[in-house]
Chain A
Amino acid sequence: MPVEAPSAEKLLDMYARMWRIRLFEEQAEYQSSQGKVMGALHTYIGEEGVAVPICAHLQDTDYITSTHRGHGHCIAKGADISRMMAELFGRSTGYCKGKGGSMHIADFKVGMLGANGIVAGGFGLATGAGLAAQLRGSGQVAVCFFGDGAANRGPFHENINIGAVWKLPVVYVCENNQFAQWTPQKDVTLVTDIANMSPAYGIPGVQVDGMDPLAVYEAAGEAIERARRGEGPTLLECKTYRFHGHNFGDPQQYRTREEIAEWSDNRDPIKQLAAHMRDAGLLSDEQDADIQNTVQEEITAAVRFAESSPYPTPDELYKDVYSYDIG
């Protein structure tokens, strides 16, 4: 069944979400350079064309699992950027009350089951979310975002096999950004096309240009509909590229400036979506500026919210270890 092309309204929403991710991440890096955002910071800049068009097919009742590079997934799924920024600032108004930080932002109300500091940590959670959906017969789906590095871990194999044999409504999405932290994928993996691993599990494998949001939208739509129909998981590989290195401050000695420029100058997913929308007469210069200005204002407000929020008080230390108090 062909996937219907996104409506003009949906395209505008996707475009704004991609900018929201881009500008959120740039601001987070700036605040990190100022010492305001603390701890590790892995930005999603360059990969916006993966999470946004995929989550455009999902409802709040659908689930996603994420990675250590999770801000983009949060924003794509509809998380509030003020509470995200507050979390990065370690404040009590953050999504995790300042107990999680960048690598652990979750918003269970919109089905975002948490960024995850363990590579491949999301496989079990997504597979279990799919099992819960299947048992309820609710038509919900779960999308498991993971990186090319995670495909070399055991949970990839164990959970995709379980998802496949039980025909769970899960889409396993490999964001193949071609580096496992600082190690090029090709140095540690002979099969660099992760989609080609799907026959081992008896499920479809689909590879798509992760820098082309419309191609991702179409491929994800098919996989998600297949999952909702009860036909089981798809392994969807999106070839992508992180423009800013593994983490903020990464000297990136493992790749050349030319390589980075090739991707960021010529294949930027935001530019690609903008070009498409302009060609289709769906995005004027004025609309474009409006969208970016509005998002910029949201980001400014998010920083203001974070900065003006209190740090957690010491009595928070022993809360949330269990459902009951251990003070």
Chain B
Amino acid sequence: MPKKSMRDALREALHEEMERDDSIIVLGEDVIAHGGPYAVTRGIDEKFPGRIRQTPISEAGIVGTALGAALCGMRPVAEVMYVDFATCAMDEVVNQMAKVRYMFGGQTDVPVVLRLPSGSARLLAAQHSQCLEAWFLHVPGLQVVVPSTAYDAKGLLKTALRGKDPVLFMEYKRLYTNESEVPDEDYAIPFGQADVKREGRDVTIVATGPMVPKALEAADLLAPEGIDVEVVDTRTLVPFDKAAVFASVEKTNRVIVTDEEVKRGGTSAEIASLIAEECFDALDAPVKRLAAAEVPMPFSPELEKLVVPKTEHLVAATRELVG
């Protein structure tokens, strides 16, 4: 099976779905000039002229316009250059996109996808490095997707582009170049299905996005010590596959929940509390959480490297948990 980067896998998903469905359009800043800041939309203008619109720097306008078009028969994919800038469109996301189906009594589908480059990369500091999943998973009506591999990214984006509900598609910038096997044949990955990326007996690591490869690394490092780690990749946060997480916890009886978001009020808090509330009897030890430091992302590499959890932290936390 060919290996592809997440960037190429996302681009393939867009091209293939645009080929299949004429109502898909792409909007965003610099999406033609440069294919977006991470070149995901490169080539669309040549292949699908007129179906990609390069916008002014107007996030509220981009998201609002995408939503309006979605209510009128189109299927827009809006790229917001950095998830940090989605804060400039919070009304459109939270008060409009998330609400229109419910508050209008189910009169309309809301097939709109926001692609949101996330997380730290290239030392971009406080306003270009955030992970805001938790803000969005708090809002009923939105779906939140966080792929960790090229394979998952393509399959999940295809599902997003075939659905009827808004999707906030978190693309971790540091994962764009990561490669995995991606088949040439068409496939889609349903939402609400976590993926056990590695089976194990002793400890479960529930990981999202960029923490998944680190969890797999940690598992490899711990295996020689006889510690058998299971890695569960949530893949989508809304809808959330509780059953898969609980099944793993019931098997291993020990769990670490990890993401790159600021720890306070982050996704890991939600997942940990679900386990504590609904799966407590399966636990032989308290749930552990590994997430980012509660600081704005600093610029200097000497500080930035201290913010998000690393493989070595997962290794240490796992040892502690089984010790």
Measured CB to CB, the residues of A under 8 A from B are 63, 65, 94-100, 104, 106-108, 113-114, 116-118, 121, 123-133, 135-136, 142, 154-155, 158-159, 161-162, 165-166, 319-324, 326
- Are B72 and A129 within 8 A (Cβ)? yes
A63, A94, A154, A162: the one contacting B105 at CB < 8 Å is A94
Q: How far is the CB of A128 from chain B (nearest CB, A)?
A: 2
15 sample A-B contacts, Cβ–Cβ < 8 Å, listed by A number: A63-B72, A96-B103, A100-B104, A106-B105, A108-B108, A113-B68, A124-B61, A124-B65, A124-B67, A127-B61, A128-B66, A136-B73, A162-B61, A320-B105, A320-B106
Q: How far is the CB of B40 from chain A (nearest CB, A)?
A: 21
Query: What is the CA–CA distance of A97 and B67 in the complex, to the nearest angstrom?
Result: 22
Q: Does B107 contact A (CB under 8 A)?
A: yes
A97, A104, A116: the one contacting B106 at CB < 8 Å is A97
- Are B165 and A124 within 8 A (Cβ)? no
Query: What is the CA–CA distance of A51 and B105 in the complex, to the nearest angstrom?
Result: 24
Chain A residues whose C-beta falls within 8 Å of the C-beta of B68 in the assembled complex: 65, 113, 124-132, 142
Q: How far is the CB of A182 from chain B (nearest CB, A)?
A: 22
Q: Which residue of A lies closest to B74 (CB)?
A: A132
- Are B96 and A99 within 8 A (Cβ)? no
Within B89-117, the residues touching A (CB, 8 Å) are: 91-92, 95-96, 100-109
Query: What is the CA–CA distance of A237 and B262 in the complex, to the nearest angstrom?
Result: 46
| Chain B contact residues, majority secondary structure | mixed
A94, A128, A161: the one contacting B56 at CB < 8 Å is A161
- Are B71 and A125 within 8 A (Cβ)? yes
Chain A residues whose C-beta falls within 8 Å of the C-beta of B76 in the assembled complex: 128
- Are B104 and A322 within 8 A (Cβ)? no
Q: Does B43 contact A (CB under 8 A)?
A: no
- Are A128 and B105 within 8 A (Cβ)? no
Known: A97-B105, A108-B107. A135 touches B60 (CB 8 A): no
Q: Does B143 contact A (CB under 8 A)?
A: yes
Query: What is the CA–CA distance of A130 and B66 in the complex, to the nearest angstrom?
Result: 11
Chain A residues whose C-beta falls within 8 Å of the C-beta of B104 in the assembled complex: 95-96, 99-100, 104, 106, 108, 114
B25, B56, B58, B107: the one contacting A135 at CB < 8 Å is B25
Query: What is the CA–CA distance of A135 and B70 in the complex, to the nearest angstrom?
Result: 12
A155, A158, A321: the one contacting B102 at CB < 8 Å is A321
Q: Which residue of A lies closest to B141 (CB)?
A: A321
Q: Does B183 contact A (CB under 8 A)?
A: no
- Are A159 and B61 within 8 A (Cβ)? yes
- Are B91 and A121 within 8 A (Cβ)? yes
Q: Which residue of A lies closest to B104 (CB)?
A: A106
- Are A124 and B106 within 8 A (Cβ)? no
Q: How far is the CB of A321 from chain B (nearest CB, A)?
A: 5
Query: What is the CA–CA distance of A108 and B55 in the complex, to the nearest angstrom?
Result: 27
